[in-house]
A and B are shown apart, each in its own frame.
Chain A
């Protein structure tokens, strides 16, 4: 069972803008919405972006999501040290009887 493709790592300095990509196919991202999760070290994942580009209450507007075709991306502007975490994209996959598929995760390092 394949996963959505994310770069294993990303980095940036405080204040910078970084983006994390998430590549899928027509059966998942191409026909369904994308959600993003942030996992700080040693904690449970937290919903960061849902339905491609919607921020839940309490998530800073420095975080934004977008989707085009079979790919999605998460952008973080004004990078802060507390943004250092693992980030996962996820989407529904219509193949078989349908299931949720996650990306492999991207470890973001704030230099």
Chain B
């Protein structure tokens, strides 16, 4: 069964760019949407955006100006870049396979990777 695993730096300096990778295993990356979702410590979930295996994207309007995502089907990897980070971007970042339209559900989820924005 498909599994996803996020990885990243753990600590990012304010104003810098956060960069995360999601590795997909046990299944194909093709023909699926893939989403990034984050959760500040002790708070709720926030959808960041999704990317189709072909590369087309849809982003959360509140983050759109700072987000770049990409997919490498040969490596079965997804990447998320979030620019100009602040302490408000401190969160657990999850990668999940997505159903895409019209239902937009997420399964499975990765275990998440904690990113702390601090100087």
Which residues does A use to contact B, with CB under 8 Å? Answer: 1, 3, 32-33, 35, 37, 43-47, 50-51, 56, 88, 90-92, 96-105
4 extra A-B contacts, CB within 8 A, seeds A90-B105, A100-B35: A1-B61, A46-B109, A51-B103, A97-B58
Q: Name A100's contact: one of B44, B104, B108 (CB within 8 Å).
A: B104
CB distance from B103 to the nearest CB of A (A): 5
Asked whether B94 lies within 8 Å of A104 as measured between CB atoms, the reply is no
Asked whether A105 lies within 8 Å of B45 as measured between CB atoms, the reply is yes
CB distance from A82 to the nearest CB of B (A): 19
A5 to B22, CA, bound (A): 30
A40 to B50, CA, bound (A): 24
Q: Say whether, besides A1-B62, A50-B99, A97-B61, A102 and B109 are in contact (CB < 8 Å).
A: no
Most buried by A among B58, B62, B107: B107
A3 to B106, CA, bound (A): 18
Which 9 pairs between the two chains have the least Cβ-Cβ distance? Answer: A47-B107, A100-B47, A50-B105, A44-B109, A35-B105, A102-B45, A105-B44, A96-B61, A92-B104
Asked whether A47 lies within 8 Å of B105 as measured between CB atoms, the reply is yes
Contact digits for B55-83, partner A, Cβ 8 Å, 1 yes 0 no: 00011111000000000000000000000
Q: Say whether, besides A33-B102, A50-B99, A51-B103, A99 and B45 are in contact (CB < 8 Å).
A: no
Most buried by A among B46, B49, B50, B111: B46
CB distance from A101 to the nearest CB of B (A): 7
CB distance from A103 to the nearest CB of B (A): 7
Q: How many residues of B contact A (CB 8 A)?
A: 26
Asked whether B103 lies within 8 Å of A44 as measured between CB atoms, the reply is no
Which residues of the other chain, A, contact B26 by a CB distance below 8 angstroms? none
Q: Name A44's contact: one of B35, B46, B59, B110 (CB within 8 Å).
A: B110
Which residues of the other chain, B, contact A90 by a CB distance below 8 angstroms? 45, 47, 104-105
A56 to B107, CA, bound (A): 10
Contact digits for B78-92, partner A, Cβ 8 Å, 1 yes 0 no: 000000000000000
